[in-house]
Chain A
């Protein structure tokens, strides 16, 4: 299990290779990358500023990761979340799950993202030419998280 909260960029392919290193039992790698898009609540977004709660964030991600291991037959996973100022098209978040078969890895990856979005202490601020504003919590994210019933 690899968990990191960092300002630096990440290389999804390198992380995937790392999870499979010296293993011959992996049949599936599922990766999800989240990027900064140029519009969300604000039009003409310039950048996002990601704030987090150092210490608690890492613990929350570990708890979420352990729930995935309890629930699905997966072999390893990585979660990387960037913080600080992130420009348009930059990487924000990476989840990689490896397992023997794809179904387990697909489901666990979706679960990890749904839980991360509603339970890990990160906050996004949108920066536009007109100023800055905090992103509102989305009810649809809460619903996505609750469907797992774990």
Chain B
């Protein structure tokens, strides 16, 4: 199982802050995971479509579309950061 986390405006958009997800064998990258989440349709499709500026981290390190993922990873999606 992978642990998925969602923050800020994205969390509100999909009304989900976290979930456990068994990654299918062929979902081996962030890009493929975003495709899988977009397939949920509706707001998920809007949030995870390719045109949306979302950042991603894998195991609390900044990552990108090509980053490899596997079950047991902590994967977080969030909008560009606005602290300070």
The A/B interface has a contact count, at CB < 8 Å, of 69
**Neighbouring B residues of A97 by C-beta, 8 Å:** none
| Whole-angstrom CA separation of A117 from B8 in the bound complex | 16
Interface size range on A against B: 20 to 34
Chain A's nearest CB lies how many Å from the CB of B13? 10
Instruction: Name the residue on A nearest B60 (C-beta).
Output: A56
- With A56-B57, A134-B79 known as contacts, the answer to whether A116 contacts B5 (CB < 8 A) is no
> Does B42 belong to the interface (CB within 8 Å)?
no
Note all chain A residues with C-beta closer than 8 A to B8: 51, 123, 125, 134
Kindly provide the distance from the CB of A72 to the nearest chain B CB, expressed in whole angstroms. Answer: 19
> How many B residues, CB 8 Å from partner?
17
* Residue of chain B at shortest CB distance from A92: B84
Binding site for B on A (CB under 8 A): 34, 50-53, 55-56, 59, 81, 92-93, 113, 116-125, 134-138, 141
The answer to whether B81 touches A137, judged by C-beta atoms less than 8 angstroms apart, is: yes
Evaluate contact between B84 and A59: CB separation under 8 angstroms: no
Complex CA gap A100/B79 in Å reads 39
A141, B80: Cα distance in complex, Å: 11
What is the bound-complex CA distance between A118 and B60, given in angstroms?
Answer: 16
Residues of A contacting B78 in the complex (Cβ-Cβ under 8 angstroms): 53, 121, 123
